[in-house]
Chain A
Amino acid sequence: MAKLKYSKDGRLLFTKEMKKEYTILLPMMLPIHFKLLQNVFEHYGYSTVLLDSNAPEIAQEGLKYVHNDTCYPAILVIGQFIHALKSGKYDLNKTALMITQTGGGCRASNYIHLLRKALKKAGFSNIPVVSLNLSGLERNSGFRLTISMLRRMLCAVAYGDLLMSLNNQVSPYEAKLDNCKFLTEKWIRNLKNQMNTENGINFKQLAKNMNAISDDFAKIETRHIDKIKVGIVGEIYVKYSSLSNNQLEEFLALQGCEVCVPGLLGFLFFKIDNRLEDIKLYGGSQLKASLLKTFIKYLEKFENIMLNAIKRNLKFKVPATYQHTKALADGVIGYGNKMGEGWLLTAEMLELAEAGYENIICTQPFGCLPNHICGKGMIRKIKEINPIANIVTIDYDPGASKVNQENRIKLMLAIAKESLLKRDKQNLKNTNKPKTRTNKNNYVQLKTEELPENLVAIKT
């Protein structure tokens, strides 16, 4: 059995022996992306388990071992780990945990430390924690982020963003239930296989795969129905993880909405770009600046290939580039605002409103400090710029009730429906031709005037 080794400052290390014997537990955030990322770890010889449990006890475990005023993501992620360790499913002498560490002035940089504190309290101080970061923090002999591994991880993120975007665009309209779901799963399997055999990684293969994915989604049979288009932004974990946002995307789907969630690549751009902005604002090494610029260019290649793949099928809405999104925030909020999701959050709201997803849910953990500024603090200004923006902010917290949250979202949706009807009426006047739609797929199609105020489409 691997020996427990500690660093000079007393941190339990993840050693080479552990790499061979241990299973690493990974927290879940974005199902598509994380399945592909997990595959990358597996490929490099790490045995991993992706924790997708969402038992109600998770939050309770978290509350027990983490200061209750800490942000909700910390409570959940740590609660999920401890819940798993207590479940008896894992050999406690051969289990490690992995958590990301972003750095930056927000509380989130402290998650790994809070996790270690919690482990100690819960009697799991022999469980090593591996930090996943790009800053060279906390080295472990048993875990190294190599360039080639990083490259695969970027591929996983890009594939994930593409699949997520297309799935979100098509599934609300699919004629046959779960077509999109099956296609997404098929592609996840396919991509895993390819990447394990050194395929699907270089730009050429990336483009080929992405084009094929796009074409596959384009082939799915859809039908035309008016849906409310809703964008979701917010603190990264609460925005993406269904465990934390009470299955927000599912709820919106049931309410007859098409959902758009900006991808993960943008966040990576943002994190790299911040360092460049720091140098611009406060001075610093020009060498570092040019390295950062090169890295951004490199990321742009991934973005470019992905956007081109979406573009080739005209029926899809093409997400904005990072640079375009960034430009939207110019003059609204400073690029120096980098803690948490910083100016990117504001920019994403502007971008969504511009792209037709003007109904926006801004999610954050209760008491999230950065979102006081770049979320709640900016809504007034966003509405000044784009008056059609219909934004609701929702706080997530272990004690917040789903009913309360859903009631506020429903209010936002009621306003959205009204504007949708108004716009339809406007269109009607303009064209002066009553639109009649065919009645198929179990949906009663009503003339716009007959559309009930509170329901867009009624399933018979």
Chain B
Amino acid sequence: MKIGLDVGSTTVKCVVVDENNSIVYKNYERHYSQIKQQIIKILKFVKDNIIHNLPVKIAISGSAGIGIADSCKIPFVQEVYATKIASNIFSPGTDVIIELGGEDAKILFLSDQLEVRMNGSCAGGTGAFIDQMATLLNVSVNKINDLAKSYKKIYNIASRCGVFAKSDIQPLLNQGANRADIAASIFVAVVNQTIAGLAQGREIKGNILYLGGPLTFLSELRKYFDKTLKTQGICPENSLYYVALGAAICADRIINLDEIINEVETCKTTNNFAHNKPLFENLDEYKEFKKRHNKNKVKTGKIKNYKGKIYIGLDIGSTTAKAAVIGENCELLHSVYMPNKGEPVNIVKEFLEELYIEYPNLEVASSAVTGYGEDLIKSAFSIDFGIVETVAHLTAAQNFMPDVEFIIDIGGQDIKCFKVRSGVIDNIFLNEACSSGCGSFLQTFANALGYSIEEFSRLGLFAKAPVDLGSRCTVFMNSSVKQAQKDGATIEDISAGLSISVVKNALYKVIRAFSPKELGENIVVQGGTFLNDAVLRAFELEVGAEVVRSDIAGLMGAYGSALYAKRHENGKSSIINLNGLKNFSHEVKYANCGGCGNNCKLTVNKFNGQRRCISGNKCEKPITGKSADDSLNMYAYKLSLLHQYKNFISEKRATIGLPFGLNMYEMLPFWYVFFSSLGFGITTSPASNREIYLSGQHTVPSDTVCYPAKLMHGHIEALLNSGVKYIFYPCMSYNFDEKLGDNHYNCPVVAYYPEVIAANVKQLDNVTFINDYIGIHRPKDFSKKMHEILCKYFDGISFKEVKKAAKEAYKEYQLHINRIKAAGEKIIETAQAQNREIIVLAGRPYHVDPEVNHSIDKIIAGLGVAVVSEDVISGKVEKFSTDVLNQWTYHSRLYSAAKYISDKKNMNLVQLVSFGCGVDAITTDEVRNILEKSGKIYTQIKIDEITNPGAVKIRLRSLLAAIHNN
């Protein structure tokens, strides 16, 4: 008999096979991280019921099995390898295996050359990801499968990791999108992630085998794989057990099972893990702490006895909806805190109905709503005011501490922090899509370990050695937690460790603070997550100061909104009354806008009366019916400039294909004129869009590279499909020297991405791909070197011709830059004349690509603000010394632009940062530094494949609110 154990991230699978490899016993169970106990239980059962005293061999496999195998000296078989062994025996003739596990995704190519691929450490799209999504939708995983059967349309959801996907799905939920559609979209995202992340250019064809939990249990997921791969894969019998089977087959040593069980039982853990000081040394300390915080109580009143006007504040957050009702003396009369279950409209409706029916004599004088669901709820119930979250939170915090200097709010999905100077917001920090570590993060962990969140955090209070988990995203954290468990950390240590990590994440990743002094003396903490004593204590310990948490920490947004409503009351509230609620109707429709090339997928919520709420739009056109006004939008102008370089065919020479991405966004005028002067025709790839990206994603070798680089693969595909015989995409270590910095490099990705294209896009073999190293920074040598290069590919080009073409190219480039500067100048003048705010949307030339910037320029313009780009003003300052090595041309412009606006009254800067841009880890701190030195607010917007326009709007509105208050 042979035993195979597969200890995965969430489950333990066990099989026993006889000498003919027939399965005698199999078992599949969740282990809730109690790995050791689970293994002992299973082995004992197997021993008593199956093996008895027969000779037996054993092997362990699976990512969570390594530790046990090592310390108990049980043979270990790597799980992908085990899959391969099992498929040889149980599914001979298989060409490709796709296996999704709890946290791993794998593809094995078996025929021809054997290749095995596993997801990297920053790739979700696995079972855990689907679990998280199910939690978010508040349904079971199987229900997601059922829902997906009746979908009507697919939304774009990032599945790089759960955190990203959440920020895509949450707004969809809040906007009232159909859950069936979301469910189907989740599956499509998983399919895309698996193929994009793992196939890496190799075609998936032939006999395909689907293995692992998600693909076994979810029929719809298999369907989407079939659909995308245009084939029909098989999910074989025992598809859950292939790894365990492979391990069993590999088992080769007769062992004594009792000894093994004994080994596992007694195996010592190293107890060597990095840990922090306990949160509380003893119960007295905790009591003291409780006593201190219990002092911060909101003024309350009894709604039953109350007579007079009331004010309603609503905070419709990403996972919860909160409501506060206050009276004329700002006393809190009534409040509710409920999970929004993805149906915020129903929840608010129920709340209002109850309020009206229970207390029919109260008169609503005013109302306000804030949070993600602001727009939807405001139009659904005719709420008087919609306010940005930061304003709501500040209003509430000032009520507890009038001279508050720093507010930190950790909610379900967001971290919002702001500095307050003289009573107004001075600086804002919001978490990026990738720095999760919020309330839902703790919740997910608690649930995964089989606890409720309350229970789980209580466990951590008196942990002896809270694990030091650093501050990382959920995906990383999962494996760190497992590692710590392996090293002997208790559940208490892990609970405390996670609370500490939430705090560290906020402090070091979001705020980028390094000492409590920076936060000021008067700190108010709020948000549901701070109701958790462990988190609060960890925060106080980490900043080394006592902070104020009110007893309604989770309600501050709603309470602040109510206060705001009261402050701005203007006679009678417009809020819907009981009668209105009785006739309330709510209808959701989906439409494609078609107003412009963006083709936004709109969700239209219609309510009775004429009220409706449109979302999913990137500009105001579907709402106002008017085209976006781009007259003061530099990004739109830059894009239109580039679109003037039209494709043409030349009779004299062949056509050169130019991929329209990355640095081509600035170099197009140069190369266009250069090649047309030499008599070549030109074809540029079309403007980027999602389809172009998807068409190239299968050749992307590194899934953590920035989105603009990934898009290049699609542009090359587009050129290949256009039939051009030559594609020109040069490597360029150096850029033009604009004399702004210490050097004038391109970043490594911009400089050398043509090499990646050449090495990974196979179809380039059918065309001539010119990707030589070219130095435009030395105009004198350029013609000579360029002539040599061209002679390698073409006949009959003279040096004289090249020299002439080069001269024209340099001239055109200069003209292009001048056009940009002149137009920018005009926008600034106009804006100043009209007394409008100007935002310098600072990024790189390729951030002009609407597929890259997700029309953030239009969102800003829609707020009535003029948008200019960094290159408009970067030339206006003398070279100055920075605290970092200023060596990249594009990034030097950022520093100069920041410097330039530091004394300009109505100019502010928003930095666009592509996810995965390593260079920006350096530039963001420096740009912030330059701005803050002159008292300006730094705002950063991280963009990736997908971005959440709702979050961007909050950020920008907060910035504008802060500017106006100043």
Contacts and interface: CB of A to CB of B under 8 A. Distances in A.
Interface string B718-760: 0000000000000101100000000101111101110110011
A373 B78 contact: no
Interface stretch (A54-62, A163-171, A195-203): A54-62
A397 to B, nearest CB: 7
B778 interface: yes
A380 B759 contact: yes
A338 B733 contact: yes
Contacts of B885: 109-110, 112-113
Contacts of A380: 200-201, 701, 759-760
With a 10 A CB-CB cut-off, give which of B85, B113, B705, B773 has the most chain A CB atoms: B773
B746 A415 contact: no
Interface string A259-301: 0000000000000000000100111100000000000000000
B40 interface: no
A65 B512 CA distance: 9
A324 B252 CA distance: 44
Q: Give the size category of B's interface with A.
A: 35 or more
A404 B477 CA distance: 12
Given A109-B887, A372-B748, A410 B78 contact: yes
B399 interface: no
A89 to B, nearest CB: 20
Interface stretch (B117-125, B414-422, B686-694, B833-841): B117-125
Given A56-B468, A373-B749, A403 B81 contact: no
A64 interface: yes
A328 to B, nearest CB: 15
Contacts of A367: 704, 916, 918
Contacts of A65: 514
Contacts of A183: none
Interface string A357-393: 0000000001111111110111111010001000001
B731 A377 contact: no
A225 interface: no
Nearest to A365: B918
Interface stretch (A154-162, A210-218, A452-460): A452-460
B818 interface: no
B418 to A, nearest CB: 20
A105 B925 contact: no
Given A334-B772, A403-B482, A283 B759 contact: no
Nearest to A455: B75
A139 interface: no
A122 interface: yes
B509 interface: yes
A372 B63 contact: no
Contacts of B473: 399
B486 interface: yes
Contacts of A333: 755, 759
Contacts of B509: 68
Nearest to B762: A380
Contacts of A91: none
Contacts of B832: none
A359 to B, nearest CB: 13
A340 B66 contact: no
B76 interface: yes
Contacts of A369: 747-749, 918-919
A381 B78 contact: no
Given A71-B918, A373-B752, A395-B121, A415 B81 contact: yes
A454 B121 contact: no
B785 A283 contact: yes
Contacts of A418: 81
B781 A376 contact: no
Interface string B635-654: 00000000000000000000
Contacts of A334: 731, 755, 771-773
A339 B731 CA distance: 12
Q: Give the size category of A's interface with B.
A: 35 or more
A371 B733 CA distance: 15
B283 interface: no
A25 to B, nearest CB: 21
A435 interface: no
Interface in A434-460: 452-455
A333 B75 CA distance: 41
A398 to B, nearest CB: 5
Contact of B780 (A110, A283, A339, A411): A283
A43 to B, nearest CB: 31
A67 B756 contact: no
Nearest to B275: A56
A385 B733 CA distance: 26
Contacts of A401: 121, 476, 479-480, 482-483
A377 B760 contact: yes
B778 A282 contact: yes
Contacts of B922: 67, 70, 107, 110, 114
Interface string B882-896: 011101100000000
B470 interface: yes
A413 interface: yes
Contacts of B357: none
A430 interface: no
A323 interface: no
Contacts of A431: none
B785 A282 contact: yes
B780 to A, nearest CB: 7
A403 B916 CA distance: 24
A453 B86 CA distance: 13
A407 B785 contact: no
Nearest to A57: B274
A384 B76 CA distance: 31
Given A109-B885, A340-B748, A403 B772 contact: no
B334 to A, nearest CB: 42
A246 to B, nearest CB: 11
A50 to B, nearest CB: 23
A113 B759 contact: no
A402 B483 contact: yes
Nearest to A398: B470
Interface in B455-478: 468-473, 476-477
A105 B885 CA distance: 10
Given A65-B514, A334-B731, A380-B760, A117 B468 contact: no
B150 interface: no
A67 B759 contact: no
A237 to B, nearest CB: 15
Contact of A413 (B78, B122, B273, B752): B78
A337 interface: yes
A63 to B, nearest CB: 6
A411 B772 contact: no
A380 B212 CA distance: 27
Contacts of A381: 759-760
Interface in A226-245: none
A121 B733 contact: no
A411 B81 contact: yes
B488 interface: no
B277 interface: no
Contacts of B734: 282
Contact of B76 (A339, A379, A454): A454
Given A370-B752, A373-B748, 14 more contacts: A60-B468, A68-B509, A70-B921, A105-B887, A107-B922, A109-B887, A284-B781, A333-B755, A338-B733, A339-B745, A366-B704, A369-B918, A402-B483, A454-B77
25 contacts: A70-B921, A71-B921, A105-B748, A109-B887, A122-B514, A284-B781, A337-B752, A367-B916, A368-B918, A369-B749, A372-B701, A373-B752, A376-B701, A383-B113, A395-B704, A401-B479, A403-B66, A403-B67, A410-B76, A411-B78, A411-B116, A415-B116, A452-B250, A454-B59, A455-B75
Interface of A: 9-10, 56-57, 59-60, 63-65, 67-71, 103-107, 109-110, 112-114, 116-117, 121-122, 278, 281-284, 332-340, 366-374, 376-381, 383, 387, 393, 395, 397-408, 410-411, 413-415, 418, 452-455
